[in-house]
Amino acid sequence: MTTPVLSVENLSVDYEVGAGVFHAVSDISLVIPPGRVVGIVGETGCGKSTLAQAIPRLLPEPPARIRSGKVIFQGTDLVPVPKAKLPMVRGTGIGMIFQEPLNSLNPAFRIYDQIAEAVQMRHWREDGILPSFHPGPAPFDYSRRPITMPSTADVLSRPVMPGTAKDVMAARRVRTRTDLRDEVLDYLRLVRINDPETILSLYPHELSGGMRQRIMIAMALSAKPALLIADEPTSALDVTIQAQVLTLMKELIDEVSASILYISHDLGVVAETADDLGVMYAGRLVEFGPVAEIFQTPRHPYTKSLLRSIPTRYKSDWPMPTIPGSVPNLSQLPAGCRFHPRCSLARPVCTQEPPPALRVIETTVGATTSHHAACHYAEEVPGLP
Amino acid sequence: MGRNLEDLLIFIGKRFLQLLPVLFGIILLMFLVTHVFPLNPCPRWYPKASQQVLANCEAQFSQPVLTQFWTYFTKLLAGNWGASQFGQPVYPVITERFPATLELVLASMFLMIFIGIPLGVIGAQYAGRWADHLVRVLYLSGWSIPTYVGAIVAAVFLAPVVGLPAGHEYSTTSPPFAQVTHMSVVDAILAGNFPYTVDALEHLILPAGVLAFIEMGNATRMTRSAMLEVMPLEYVKSARMKGLSNFIVMYKHALRNALITATTVLGVTAGGLLAGTVVIEEVFSWPGIGAYAFAALGGGGEPNFDGAIAVVIVFALGVVIANLIADILYGVLDPRVDWR
Amino acid sequence: MLPTRSTNVASRVGRSFLAFFRIMRANPLTFAGFILVTIILVLAALVALVPSLIIPYGATQDTGAHEVAPTLFRWPPSLAHPFGTDQANIDLFSAVLRALPLDLAIGIGIAGIALVAGGILGLIAGFWDQPGTPGGAVSVVILRTTDVFLAFPSLVLALAIVASIGRGIWAAILAILITWWPYYVRLVRGETLAVKHLPYVTAARAAGVRETRILTRHILRNVLEPVIVYFTLDIGTVLVTFSTISFIGAGIPWPGPTPEWGSMMSFYQGNYPLEQFWWFITFPAIAIFVTALAFSLLGDGLRDVLDPRTRRALAESSSASTLPQEAPPTAATPTTPEQEEEAEEADES
């Protein structure tokens, strides 16, 4: 079995605010194998963005606090990493695409500067100028790696280039600068930008939302991350642009070797992109399994209601099925199963005992991921009509 | 979208033209204050002047108001800013003393930028925690200390403790080089005199430091609140995701945007600094126009009404220019501003 | 209709009470400022109403100290004279306390008058700002005038006015007043413009509510909050500015029947070596500092909560955008009264 790129084990994240403690993420476990796309769906406020930002430790701490659990990225638990050491993990290991293309690029800098900064950071880490994150099962090295400077002997033994030393230095500087520029252009082409040369010198406000999101994707990819977290990358865009960016994402998923955690509130989007799907409700992962299987045989009542409430052209049942009640307040969660006040199958045991976290329901022969659900009566959930 | 050099010049030119009404308003207001509001002011303004001066003054007030204004306006533009009651013209004194004040204000501004703004960043970074409280107490203390108290405490009680001189520009009254610019440090550097440069800097630290501390509040507060606005935005997070260190994220990505908002306090700050020089220069015997105004207002000298009004006009011009610079800075710092 | 209205009022009072406690809990400095301001106000009231209760000696009254040592004046601080005595054996503790109501009244009075005058002009300039109408013309004139006033550092302009119209306490007060109102014009106009285009105001206008009613019911109430906060912060600034004017020598003469902190310090600083008689200026200076700081702490803390910029940021950083709507932000929860207001408005029409 291959080592997963990321495995989240029993992660719980709270917000400690003046008004109380909000359990944004409770006891979530999840595994992302190399090269696989894992989708997470859930309503607004179910904690999926918190989960996304907790993995690279991007949450402001305080008020956020990782109460318990592990985030094992390439063999290293990120939870105990001190804040000062986090940049090396983020720089080379994990990339992230944000929801709001309006705000995700810095309005004060040109596009070139922003992407080149990311590429430059990667170069410096690759060259050992900056401390870098070691992939693999070896324990995470907190110490700063020594800067590898060429020895005098190395320098002297290099072939002498024509021209004076000053010319050589100048030539080298120009070369690295054009290299950097070429690399930035490569990434812009990667995200299907037609005229990357002109884009380079523009400011973010001069670009459309879809364009900005493409650049955001290019920027995230330019660090060559092993894990790419896409936090609702298409939600804030117009429908037509959404489709374009989604197509791009799908194409890139095939081209790029990174594992992807794809967060969305849109089941349709996730169905198109993800291999595995997790469903979140009130801070909990209530169901996890291969996408196709969950869509065919949802084993959690919430997933089932969610699927039923997707409007389709074919169904003509009116009024549109909705889930009664509303998402519980994360500071005053119901006892037992968090979904029980809205669940049509709820029985007395559901109001008292929390369901087992992700019970394995069945494993389709040949599938890499098994199907889990957090429900007392998972087997009894009726199939979709 | 125009943002080349030519557009910038047009942008600056436009801003400059917008100033003209304000400049006219300043002169008009000063005219009202000096010619229309006061009742029979001549003996009060020139208590020890000769009969000739008093008669001139009275004659001026007997003319119709519009004529008076025209005379006032043309005289101001021609550089005839009046004279002390003993006949010493004001304008040459102002031009000679102004550089010293400018030096003091710029030095305070420098300290404010390199101490006040980082303090604002720290306050935002640790919002609601003890570091933030400390920053707040610091700038509110500056806010609440009257300038003269701060100056006296620094000059009388602090100076001996830290071993810095409290008064004058140099240790000797006549430095051995030409006073080309009338700015102590610049003159010493121009003369290539290193010991005097150090000496001048030492003399500058305390007055500039006190002034900066007292007027820091606006800059720090504005930086803090602009940083708080910028920090939760996603581009700060995406900068973090590039693997940049916290320092770079804060001071390059966040502060760069926060500064756009923070430029708006430049005018107010410049006004506060200029007003502060009136007391600071008096206490520290700094040979600028602040001390001149203090003496002119009757603080320990003969009242010199024309001199005081001249300094007030210079200060207003200073604020107007600071506001112009702030506008231009805003346009340059924020790429979203179209210069056309 | 009536009972709902009264419960509305009750719940509104309860809510603002709650909001107040949240603000105080959120920032200990604001709370410290609130406590200090309360103490200062109570002290000032006591001094003004029942001076004999806390002031040991009348300010110009002989302290009796010379009976012990007839030649020795200028007593350093002791139990009998906590702030020491000056060259005329005036008890400085009494003098500093006696100056408190006057200085406080000057601070509150000037800031208050500036608030009312500037506030009205600001409302006019913000509300009737349509170009091409008489109101628009008036607002342009108001704004250009404030531009000119704001070009002067207020302390310096006040000094010029004092120099021009003559010295004395009334001249000093008038001078500060003339320079102080434009800040309120700017503030109130900005707030008015911001509120004027909010959806609920547009909705009220669409529902046919009269303009004057919109102004008094919707805009005034929203503008009031930031203005009062700024006013709190401003009291300290006025106090400091007035004392500086007195220090330069344009205030109330001292020694005299009416003590005032700035002129006291001006006199002692000019006539006595302060290294030796440090208590002469230390205690008036501390009095100004503490009073100004108290109002600044309170005002700055409140402003932090009400400033839309920091408010949003603070709320976001401490409750995170990912939380559901029910999650209340740290401190004050604004806007709800307006929504109620809307409902009332709709009922009435």
Single out the residue of A66, A123, A18, A87 nearest to residue C319, CA to CA: A18
Position A41, amino acid: V
Point out the least confidently predicted range of A77-91, A254-268, C64-78, C292-306: C64-78
Q: What is the ipTM of this complex?
A: 0.88
Long-range contact set of residues C301-305: C-beta below 8 Å, sequence gap at least 24: C301/C23, C301/C27, C301/C29, C301/C30, C301/C33, C302/C23, C302/C30, C302/C229, C302/C232, C303/C226, C303/C229, C303/C230, C303/C233, C304/B225, C304/C27, C304/C30, C305/C23, C305/C26, C305/C331, C305/C332
What CATH number is associated with residue C182? 1.10.3720.10
Query: How far is C-alpha B227 from the geometric centre of its chain's CA atoms?
Result: 25
**Chain C residues close to B152, C-beta within 8 Å:** 269, 274, 281, 285
C91 three-state secondary structure: strand
CA distance B115 to C217: 44
Rounded to a whole number of angstroms, the distance from the CA of C84 to the nearest CA of chain B is: 19
Please report, rounded to a whole number, the percentage of residues in chain B having pLDDT higher than 70. Answer: 98
**pLDDT in the model for residue C323:** 36
Please report, rounded to a whole number, the percentage of residues in chain A having pLDDT higher than 70. Answer: 75
**pLDDT in the model for residue C317:** 41
Higher pLDDT, A104 or A158: A104
**Chain B residues close to C247, C-beta within 8 Å:** 146, 148, 279
Flag whether C323 is in a domain. no
Which among A22, A49, A60 has CB closest to C317?
A60
Both tokens assigned to B36: 């229309």
- Helices B255-262 and B117-125: crossing angle in degrees, nearest 10, is 120
Single out the residue of A170, A128, A165, A131 nearest to residue A150, CA to CA: A128
User: Is there a contact between A131 and A145 (Cβ–Cβ < 8 Å)?
Assistant: yes
Both tokens assigned to C162: 């004092």
**pLDDT in the model for residue C345:** 41
pLDDT tens-digit readout, B259-271: 988 888 888 899 9
Which among A45, A63, A330 has CB closest to C318?
A63
For residue B102, the tally of other CB atoms under 10 A from its CB is: 18
**pLDDT in the model for residue B315:** 93
Which among C317, C322, C325 has CB closest to A49?
C322
Single out the residue of B63, B33, B153, A247 nearest to residue C284, CA to CA: B153
Is B309 at the interface with chain C, CB within 8 A? Answer: yes
C85 three-state secondary structure: strand
Residue with tokens 């006032």: B72
**Per-position pLDDT tens, chain C of length 349:** 344 445 566 666 666 677 777 777 777 888 899 999 999 999 999 888 887 777 777 645 555 554 445 455 666 777 767 777 777 777 788 888 888 998 899 999 999 999 999 999 998 888 887 777 888 888 888 988 998 998 898 888 888 888 888 777 888 888 899 899 999 998 898 888 888 888 888 888 888 888 888 888 788 888 888 888 889 989 999 999 998 888 887 777 777 778 888 888 888 887 888 777 888 888 889 999 999 999 999 988 888 777 665 555 444 444 333 333 333 333 333 333 344 344 344 333 3
Both tokens assigned to A170: 């100048």
**Chain A residues close to C320, C-beta within 8 Å:** 15, 24, 50, 59-60, 63-64
**Chain C residues close to B303, C-beta within 8 Å:** 163
Residue limits of CATH 1.10.3720.10 in chain B: 90-333
Question: Chains A, B: CB contacts under 8 A, how many?
Answer: 81
**Chain C residues close to B233, C-beta within 8 Å:** none
Flag whether C322 is in a domain. no
Query: Residue A374: is its pLDDT beyond 80?
Result: no
For residue A368, name the pLDDT band (cuts at 50, 70, 90). low
Flag whether C73 is in a domain. no
CA distance A316 to A285: 31
**Number of domains, chain C:** 1
Say if the Cβ atoms of B253 and A223 lie within 8 Å.
no
Q: pLDDT averaged over chain A?
A: 75
* Domains in chain A with CATH codes: 6-89+275-383 (3.40.50.300), 111-256 (no CATH)
Query: Residue B31: is its pLDDT beyond 70?
Result: yes
C132 three-state secondary structure: coil
Point out the least confidently predicted range of A120-134, A157-171, A318-332, C74-88: A157-171
CATH topology of domain B90-333: MetI-like fold (1.10.3720)
Mutation target among C36, C146, C156 for the B interface, most CBs of B within 10 A: C156
pLDDT tens-digit readout, A211-244: 888 888 888 888 777 888 888 887 777 778 878 8
CA distance C29 to C27: 5
Flag whether C333 is in a domain. no
CA distance B276 to A297: 76
Point out the least confidently predicted range of A64-73, B69-78, C5-14, C89-98: C5-14
Please report, rounded to a whole number, the percentage of residues in chain A having pLDDT higher than 90. Answer: 0
CB within 8 Å of chain A, chain C residues 285-324: 317-324
pLDDT tens-digit readout, B159-187: 888 888 888 888 877 777 778 888 888 88
Full domain range(s) for residue C150:
28-48+89-315
Flag whether C74 is in a domain. no
